[in-house]
Amino acid sequence: MPRHGEPLRRLGFLTIGTFAEDDPGPGHADVLAAIELGERLGLDSAWLRHRHLQPGISSPVAVLAAATQRTTRIELGTAVTPLGWENPLRVAEDWATLDVLSGGRFHPGFSTGTPMRFDDVRAALYPDTADVEDFSHRRGERLLALLRGEPAGTRATQGVEVFSERVQPHAPGLAGRTWCGVGSTGSARWAGEQGVNLLLSSVVRAEDGVGQRPGRSPQEDHAWDFGAVQAAHVAAYRDGWGGREGRGRVSQGLVVLPTDSATPAQVERYRAYAASRQARTARPQGPGRLLFAGDLVGSSAEIAERLWEHEGFRAVDEAVFALPFTLDAPDQEQVLTDIAGSLGPALGWSPSRRA
């Protein structure tokens, strides 16, 4: 486990890419501009989060395909693609194509489980098969097998057409650059067993005894230490990895808003945003018993100290900081510039300038 002050090895950012429903073009253009800015600033990666039936990026693959033609170095990822909405074979084809377009820079992330608001969308998403769809880890295993080149059909020739037994294009190395987003110890251990990389976010599930503060009942506020929960997930992941060759990558994603170059008006908005979300960090939310991390607002030096105190952060050496969905383009530029120019260096990270 890294000690206080050990350098952060990789640093990236995450956005959901909001847009106006009656004019979605500018919002999508802002996302591409942010990715280009991230590359100029020397950040290591840019990630898009899926948003279905919302004014946020619903097709990260399409947007990132455009980004491959505007960038040359920065890694591009999805954090995460919820497989409950997808057919693993089609996802494998899209991901492999995007990886080819990016020159091997694609880092896809996925999650398993029942789609969000499934009862509301099942008739549109799976009108004939909703009751038999398998949303378990098995869906992820099917995807990984296809990415690794295992058979999807049989090789055949039909007239002048030749059919491959595996997904085309085949992108060697893509399976090794695949990540799994998790929120529980069981899923973290499964990710390790599958040999994929691990994405930690600002949301976890409250599990009795996992990161629970001694003497606190589940009904009390702040009964769980969020950082301790994430550290337990990393430990479960390493346990699942076992004696497999190599060592999987683990990245943490929290919402951070450095204010080093922010205007007074920006600082006020950022603090109001964080305050509006603070109440949900006290206890598990909803039937899924979700625990949320608090947003970090302040100078880079202040945020760095709070991160070093975070047990989950100390368990990783990569970070993907999430941009709040309320940020407009100027706010995004300020936050990304401070992340790369002030916060990253405060965490021991150095920008990449490789072409």
CATH at 181: 3.20.20.30
Residue 158 resides in a domain: no
pLDDT for res 244: 86
Residues with Cβ < 8 Å from 5, sequence gap 6 or more?
308, 348
What single DSSP character describes residue 210? S
SS3 (DSSP) at 192: helix
Domain presence at residue 141: yes
Q: Which domain holds residue 46?
A: 10-152+166-346
159 part of a folded domain? no
Q: What are the tens digits of pLDDT across the range 334-353?
A: 999 999 999 999 999 999 76
Residue 146: inside a domain, yes or no? yes
d(CA 193, CA 188): 9
What is the C-alpha to C-alpha distance for residues 289 and 153, in angstroms, rounded to an integer? 41
CA distances from 10 to 95, 253, 348 (A): 23, 12, 10
Q: Is residue 2 part of a domain?
A: no
Residue 105: name the closest of 29, 198, 35 by CA.
35
DSSP reduced 3-state for 304: helix
In a domain, residue 351? The reply is no
pLDDT at 116: 92
Q: What is the pLDDT of residue 95?
A: 98
In 3D space, the residue among 152, 53, 134, 147 whose CA is nearest the CA of residue 86 turns out to be 134
Q: How many domains does the chain have?
A: 1
Please give the Cα distance from 209 to 39 (Å, whole number).
41
pLDDT of residue 4: 67
Long-range contacts: 206-214, Cβ < 8 Å, 24+?
A: 206/284, 206/289, 206/290, 206/291, 207/289, 210/185
**pLDDT tens digit string along 289-321?**
999 999 999 999 999 999 999 999 999 999 999
On whether residue 80 sits in a domain, the answer given is yes
- For the chain, which ranges sit under pLDDT 50? 1-2, 354-355
The predicted model scores a pTM of 0.95
Helix (H, G, I), strand (E, B) or coil at 318: strand
Q: Collapsing DSSP states into helix, strand and coil, what is residue 76?
A: strand
Q: Is residue 354 part of a domain?
A: no
